Amino acid sequence: MTMLQRFALVPAVVLMTGTLSMTPAPAVSGPTGRAERIIAAAQTCPSWCTFCHAMNNDMWSYPSEFPNNDGYFGCSAGACEWGNCPETEEQMTAEEFGTAIVIATEGSPAEISEILDQHPRRVVLNEQRSAIQIKGCRGEIIAHIPVDPSRLAGLLDIEYGTR
């Protein structure tokens, strides 16, 4: 997409949504508690991660032990734990991952923009799907969080510098 196309898209989106955030950009706050809960939940038992070798081996590994008491939906044959990408890839810690999810879910456009800047290869805006997507080491999408129209308009405004 050329810069010209980007500039053309922003007013169109703003027109459609009818909203434009003019709020001064706050600093990214640290919703640490919620992020920790996200990490803990993901590490306790990702039910569709029923075994690890189908996952990215660079990012997930078998735990030595795992609980098998998460009900009836798997989690008994394996569970995976968060790890890091190879050194050649952009690193993202579990804490940063959890924080990115919280901010993508409920953060302001400025907060989302800051996360995008901090992790340009791991946290991306998918404009066509109006969503923030977080990637794993291989580029696979491990989180997809829709962004409502008003926040999307504000985010596009910041990203493409129309003000």
CA 137/CA 88 separation, integer angstroms: 10
Task: Kindly indicate which of the ranges 25-33, 73-81, 85-93, 107-115 contains the residues binding other proteins, using the contact rule CB under 8 A.
Answer: 73-81
What is the footprint of other proteins within residues 86-145 (CB under 8 A)? Answer: 98, 101, 105, 126-131, 133, 136, 140-145
The dihedral over CA atoms of 155, 160, 161, 163, expressed in degrees to the nearest 10, equals -60
What is the footprint of other proteins within residues 17-36 (CB under 8 A)? Answer: none
Q: Indicate the length of the chain as a whole number.
A: 163
Q: Smallest distance from the beta carbon of 150 to other proteins, in angstroms?
A: 13
Residue 48 touches other proteins, criterion: CB under 8 A: yes
Q: Smallest distance from the beta carbon of 14 to other proteins, in angstroms?
A: 12
Q: Smallest distance from the beta carbon of 24 to other proteins, in angstroms?
A: 27
- Give how many residues touch other proteins by CB under 8 A: 57
CA 19/CA 52 separation, integer angstroms: 44
Q: Smallest distance from the beta carbon of 159 to other proteins, in angstroms?
A: 14
Q: Smallest distance from the beta carbon of 4 to other proteins, in angstroms?
A: 12
Task: Kindly indicate which of the ranges 20-28, 44-52, 84-92, 109-117 contains the residues binding other proteins, using the contact rule CB under 8 A.
Answer: 44-52
- Which tokens hold the place of 7? 């500039």
- Which tokens hold the place of 54? 């189908």
Strands 60-61 and 81-82, sheet pairing: antiparallel
- The residue written with tokens 């291989």 in the block is 138
CA 36 to the chain's CA centroid: 15
- Which tokens hold the place of 55? 């996952």
Residue 52 touches other proteins, criterion: CB under 8 A: no
